[in-house]
Chain A
Amino acid sequence: MTLVERLDQEVAWRRGEISPEIYFDEELYALEQERIFGSTWIPVGHADMVREPTSYVTNYVGEVPVIILRDPAGTVRGFINRCRHRGNMVCLFDRGKAHNFTCSYHGWTYGLDGSLVGVPRERDLYGPGFHRADWGLEEIRIADFKGLLFASLDKFIAPFEQWLGDDARWWLETFVLGEPVGGLEALPGWHRYRTPGNWKLMAENFIGDNYHVALTHASWFRAAGEMRERGSQAAMITSPLPMRTKVPTYEVTAGFGTGCPLGLGALVTQGEALFERDMEEAKRLGPEVVDWLRYRQDRMEKALIGVDPQPYGFINGLLFPNLGLMGYVSPMIGRHLMLFQPHGTTEHEAWQWTMVERETPEVVREIALQRVYQGQHMAGVIAPDDVENFERVVEAMRTRRAQRLPLNFEVHIDDDGDEFPGLPGNVGKEPSEVNQRQFYRFWLELMTRGGGAVS
């Protein structure tokens, strides 16, 4: 029996045992491209990346190259980056502005609505049966959720708002996108790096692995402590962390037991100590920062009326399948958004961009950005140690023999219920592996929908 045919038994998320074969199996990977990356809503960036008409960014949905652009009429659209004539890529840049895309092979040219607008020697070479209208770029569905852009390769997919449950929508709007405090602004430029290991290793890590933090990142906590003793004020060294205030943290699952999961880790509900810490920094930075921080806090508290307890922020998170989130525990940290792009069974790419709250004062902005690129970033002090673990995972488990025994996902398995009914979603103990289990619950549901065979 192939892995795909026995997937139900091998992904026993209810009892916390999952076969490592899911990271290495080629047939499964191909099926994932179809059933996860080909049939769901996949994050591709932010509306600010295509703020002006005729601007575009390129990206991938799974391993399918796409162009996301704003057409002259102002609509964000998505197209597969593939010429209809011989399949060459028609756009080679990371981002830019263009009025059309000309294929470098034979010169077929497409407009920003995807229509085929130029065919060299069309009258000489093609007969009356050739109609340009039949040969435009393939358009894909785009959803703009308060600026976050998602694409789907499935023409018939349900609208994004239905795909996302109410709880996930609330957490996304309120805490990820900062709607109550004026929303976020995306900064230009993809920061990209190759990462060893299947994309799910990183997705699991972000959706709920706060168990690894103390050990994997021990070197940084120790070095930062030593630098603080020396009186260093470098942004990353003074970065706000709930661990330093000793407040309890919780694990959020929006989409618990049903639908698309959004997991958030290190949720802080007693934010007083963190707010105090932010206020101290604000005072050092100037009165306009103090005013902004107070005003921001007031607006947040108003938006949270009726919610009990009122959360302050969280550290890490992931919206299924591959949108990673970091930096939401304080407005003094920039928001790290990461796409974990599949690239074969044993490698993925992290595509990262940065956001800051739109109303952030200039002086905070600079510090907030430093805390992104010095932190969970390809040249930061956090991510390279995670990546190293995944490189070792691949080395240890690449053989079928080494994949024989299951992996353990049992942390708080009998104890992962909701402890805060006054908050949307399931909010419970931390560290936990509840979110990894919820990730695989939904992953398995999608992967086994309509039978086990690759269509």
Chain B
Amino acid sequence: MTVLTVEDKYRIEELLRREAHLLDERRFREWLGLFTDDAEYVIPLTEAVQGDVAPAGHPIVKDSKDMLLARVLKDETGFSHAEIPTSMTCHLISNIVVDESPKEDAEVRSAFVVHQARKLRDEAWWVGRRRDLVRRVDDEWRIAHRVITLDTSLLPRGISIFF
């Protein structure tokens, strides 16, 4: 397990802050560059269940970096109706804590509020938490695994943005 210095923690937090700006500025190719090549991006299903029942059969999203790229390419065609005109997003990332991790070089937990505004008056608020496993690659911190928990079991609209 890597022992994290204060500087490591600062740089990991900085990664998340800069990532939010890349998303809001729609610099998606650069955003993809923050992920390791073997990265996985997951949004599990949120449900309210009672008692001992089988877990959900599949998540909302489980993307490889390839699939994330496919989504970016889709919007770049200029024919993705869900992103015409493009969504205005503001990612507010907060409550960041960085811990050592037995699986990767560090684990980062954060909370987010994302506002998505579309067209004249359509909008959605997305609230939840992320748990990222980050890895040091050539002295840069990269996201190797992200789990996004959305605080809703009925999505306000289809997802065409990133968290």
Which A residues are closer than 8 A to B by beta carbons? 55, 92-98, 186-196, 216, 218-220, 222-224, 226-227, 232-234, 236-237, 349, 354, 369-370, 372-374, 377-379, 381, 383-385, 387-389, 391, 395
A378 touching B60 in the complex, CB below 8 Å, given contacts A94-B153, A236-B67: yes
Q: Give the residue of B56, B79, B153 whose beta carbon is less than 8 angstroms from that of A222.
A: B79
| B103 beta carbon closer than 8 Å to chain A | no
Main secondary structure of the interface of A (DSSP, over half): mixed
Decide: A234 and B57 in contact? CB cutoff 8 A: no
Decide: A387 and B82 in contact? CB cutoff 8 A: yes
Q: Give the residue of A187, A374, A378 whose beta carbon is less than 8 angstroms from that of B57.
A: A187
Chain A residues near B154 (CB-CB < 8 A) = 192-194, 349
Min Cβ gap A55→B in Å is 7
Q: A191-B45, A384-B158 are in contact. List 6 more A-B contacts (CB 8 A).
A: A94-B49, A96-B49, A188-B57, A234-B66, A373-B58, A373-B60
Binds A, one of B70-78, B104-112, B130-138: B70-78
Decide: B66 and A237 in contact? CB cutoff 8 A: yes
Decide: B61 and A232 in contact? CB cutoff 8 A: no
Decide: A219 and B79 in contact? CB cutoff 8 A: yes
Decide: A378 and B159 in contact? CB cutoff 8 A: yes
Chain B residues near A192 (CB-CB < 8 A) = 153-155
Residue picked from A226, A379, A383, most chain B C-beta under 10 Å: A379
Min Cβ gap A433→B in Å is 21
The 3 tightest CB contacts between A and B, nearest first, are A187-B57, A96-B50, A189-B56
Chain B residues near A97 (CB-CB < 8 A) = 50-53
Chain B residues near A395 (CB-CB < 8 A) = 119-120
Chain A residues near B67 (CB-CB < 8 A) = 234, 236-237, 374
Can you show 9 pairs from A to B with CB atoms below 8 A apart? A94-B49, A219-B75, A226-B73, A234-B70, A236-B67, A381-B74, A384-B82, A388-B158, A395-B120
Which B residues are closer than 8 A to A by beta carbons? 43, 45, 47-64, 66-67, 69-71, 73-82, 84, 119-120, 122, 153-160
Residue picked from B58, B155, B157, most chain A C-beta under 10 Å: B58
Bound CA span A354–B56, Å: 10
A354 touching B61 in the complex, CB below 8 Å, given contacts A223-B74, A384-B82: no
Bound CA span A195–B82, Å: 12
Decide: A354 and B157 in contact? CB cutoff 8 A: no
Chain B residues near A227 (CB-CB < 8 A) = 66, 69-70, 73
Bound CA span A224–B72, Å: 11
Decide: B58 and A354 in contact? CB cutoff 8 A: yes
Chain A residues near B50 (CB-CB < 8 A) = 93, 95-98
Decide: B62 and A373 in contact? CB cutoff 8 A: yes
Bound CA span A98–B53, Å: 11
Bound CA span A370–B120, Å: 34
Bound CA span A195–B124, Å: 12
Main secondary structure of the interface of B (DSSP, over half): loop
Chain A residues near B78 (CB-CB < 8 A) = 219
Decide: A93 and B48 in contact? CB cutoff 8 A: yes
Bound CA span A92–B71, Å: 36
Min Cβ gap A14→B in Å is 32
Chain A residues near B122 (CB-CB < 8 A) = 196, 391
Q: Give the residue of A95, A219, A385, A388 whose beta carbon is less than 8 angstroms from that of B49.
A: A95
Chain A residues near B84 (CB-CB < 8 A) = 388
Chain A residues near B52 (CB-CB < 8 A) = 97
Chain A residues near B51 (CB-CB < 8 A) = 96-98
Q: Give the residue of A96, A196, A234, A385 whose beta carbon is less than 8 angstroms from that of B80.
A: A385
Bound CA span A372–B61, Å: 10
Min Cβ gap A118→B in Å is 18
Chain B residues near A236 (CB-CB < 8 A) = 67, 70
Which of chain A's residues has its CB closest to B56's CB?
A189
Min Cβ gap A225→B in Å is 10
Decide: B158 and A193 in contact? CB cutoff 8 A: yes
Decide: A378 and B155 in contact? CB cutoff 8 A: yes
Chain B residues near A92 (CB-CB < 8 A) = 48
Chain A residues near B66 (CB-CB < 8 A) = 227, 232-234, 237
Chain B residues near A233 (CB-CB < 8 A) = 66
Chain B residues near A389 (CB-CB < 8 A) = 81
Which of chain B's residues has its CB closest to A366's CB?
B58
Bound CA span A374–B159, Å: 11
Bound CA span A442–B45, Å: 36
Chain B residues near A224 (CB-CB < 8 A) = 70
Chain A residues near B153 (CB-CB < 8 A) = 94, 190, 192
Which of chain A's residues has its CB closest to B65's CB?
A234
Chain A residues near B77 (CB-CB < 8 A) = 218-219, 222-223
Chain A residues near B160 (CB-CB < 8 A) = 384
Q: Give the residue of B62, B70, B119, B158 whose beta carbon is less than 8 angstroms from that of A232.
A: B70
Min Cβ gap A133→B in Å is 27
A383 touching B158 in the complex, CB below 8 Å, given contacts A192-B153, A374-B67: yes
Decide: B82 and A354 in contact? CB cutoff 8 A: no
Which of chain A's residues has its CB closest to B70's CB?
A227
Bound CA span A186–B70, Å: 28
Residue picked from B47, B70, B156, B158, most chain A C-beta under 10 Å: B158
Decide: A223 and B70 in contact? CB cutoff 8 A: yes
Which of chain A's residues has its CB closest to B55's CB?
A188
Residue picked from B43, B75, B153, B156, most chain A C-beta under 10 Å: B153
